Amino acid sequence: MNLADLRENYRRGQLDHGDLAAQPLRQFEIWFATAAHGGRWRRIGIALYKLWQAIIGRPPTDVNAMVLATVSHQGEPSSRNVLLKGVDDRGFIFFTNYDSRKGRELAENPHAALTFYWPDLERQVCVAGTVTKLPTAESEAYFRSRPRDSQLGAWASNQSQVVPDREALERQWQEVAARFPGQVPLPPNWGGFVLQPERLEFWQGRPGRLHDRFRYARQPDGSWQLNRLSP
């Protein structure tokens, strides 16, 4: 499986300013209720979709999604889901806008953590380590493999910055599309990171909350120490 080729074109909904509650915790309650219940037919539809994906041999949607946690130089943490795009001897590879919040925080503090959660398998993997930028040539090679719409989006979005409305964002995208009618070049503020792990924890759910937890910790000589942890 080539992780770089795993991508999903999200089409299941939209969110406008007028749809949001006045208070953020109320908005969370609304979304949580939808996620917890979601309607009988929606749950049936999702189950059938997963079954069809399994029958045709496609991997589950966003199986490569991971929570990336970063910390600013002031010690303020933040987290978000990003997509894993490669794993090799260097570590875990992902791509983003270097001017985004996560990009700025990684520039200030190059220590981060990742969490993978696969609920159907009752498994979780937690990773922590140091982060460095990928070589520009490697970022450019991956960028060229992306769909054109995604390439244009990387130019159009000033990630993490305030935008007045959806129309302004779409207008920026149209302007970029007109600017690059042919091949879309790599944006100067966009590219890859690799997280070199110093600690990995593998969690397997078990009955009675007596879960199995094993931690790999990198030793000074480069070897790994493996220990079982109490759940």
Q: How far apart are CA 65 and CA 132, in angstroms?
A: 20
Is 209 one of the annotated active-site residues of the chain?
Answer: yes
* Length reported for the chain: 231
Give me the mean pLDDT over the 111-128 stretch.
96
Catalytic residue, from 11, 40, 209, 228: name it: 209
In this predicted structure, which of 58-72, 97-111, 186-200, 215-229 has the lowest mean pLDDT? Answer: 58-72
Distance (Å, whole) CA 68 – CA 78: 8
Nearest CA to 154 out of 192, 189, 182, 107 is that of 189
Average pLDDT, the chain: 91
Lowest mean pLDDT among 22-26, 30-34, 116-120: 30-34
pLDDT of residue 5: 64
Q: Quote the tokens at residue 57.
A: 């041999």
Structural domains in the chain, CATH included, are: 12-61 (no CATH), 62-229 (2.30.110.10)
Q: How confident is the model at residue 39 (pLDDT cuts 50, 70, 90)?
A: low
Rounded Cα gap, residues 69 and 78, in angstroms: 6
pTM: 0.85
pLDDT value at residue 166:
92
Q: What is the Cα–Cα distance from 71 to 77, expressed in whole angstroms?
A: 4
pLDDT at residue 16, rounded to an integer: 87
Contact 134, 93 (CB under 8 A): yes
Q: From residue 4, give the alpha-carbon distance in Å to each of 67, 94, 175, 183.
A: 17, 9, 28, 20
Tell me what pLDDT residue 104 has.
97
Instruction: Classify residue 68 as exposed, middle or buried by CB count within 10 Å of its CB (0-12, 13-18, 19+).
Output: buried
In this structure, how many other beta carbons lie within 10 angstroms of the beta carbon of residue 105?
23
